[in-house]
């Protein structure tokens, strides 16, 4: 089942990043924008930035999604696919996940993973339901003492 990433969160993150890039672009070209009379190059630069921003927003909204399968979850970001087997998950940080609306889990290799929720939180419910090898917090700390929760 294909589940899109939360669009509101994606748009907010994108706007913050886009504003930072706009500041960097215009600060790096400050001499170009300080002239009293603007030439075509200033308008072209602004139009190019806006066009690229809109294109990147559309691509980020359409090319980021989750595919929920019976044995694993596939995370698709642009053309890159990452597979997370439910059997590899040993700990799900439920308190942190529910608080931040970001699925926080640890694999059997001790790696932490963070996946933003979809709008309804289906990936969180799926992980809680299908991950059978999960440990409680004390057992996890004993088995993986070097991993910080």
**pLDDT tens digit string along 19-31?**
999 999 888 888 8
Cα angle, residue 102 at apex, residues 146 and 93 outer, rounded to 5°? 40
Instruction: Please give the Cα distance from 67 to 12 (Å, whole number).
Output: 23
Name the nearest CA neighbour of 115 among 62, 65, 63, 61. Answer: 65
pTM above 0.85, yes or no: no
Helix (H, G, I), strand (E, B) or coil at 17: helix
Domain boundaries, the chain: 2-62, 78-143
Can you tell me the distance from the alpha carbon of 115 to that of 5, in angstroms, rounded to the nearest whole number?
Answer: 9
DSSP β-bridge partners for residue 92: 105
93-142 residue pLDDT tens: 999 999 999 999 999 998 999 999 999 999 999 999 999 989 999 999 99
């Amino acid at each position: 089942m294909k589940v899109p990433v939360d669009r509101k969160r994606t748009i907010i993150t994108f706007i913050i990043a886009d504003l930072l890039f706009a500041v960097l672009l215009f600060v790096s070209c400050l001499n170009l924008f300080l002239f009293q009379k603007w030439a075509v190059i200033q308008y072209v630069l602004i139009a190019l930035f806006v066009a690229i921003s809109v294109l990147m927003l559309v691509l980020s909204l359409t090319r980021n999604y989750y595919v929920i399968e019976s044995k694993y979850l596939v995370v698709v970001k642009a053309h890159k696919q990452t597979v997370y087997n439910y059997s590899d998950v040993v700990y799900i940080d439920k308190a942190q996940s529910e608080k931040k609306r970001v699925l926080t889990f640890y694999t059997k290799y001790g790696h932490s993973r963070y996946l933003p929720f979809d709008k309804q939180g289906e990936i969180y419910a799926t992980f809680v339901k299908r991950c059978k090898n999960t440990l409680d917090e004390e057992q996890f700390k004993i088995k993986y003492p070097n991993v910080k929760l």
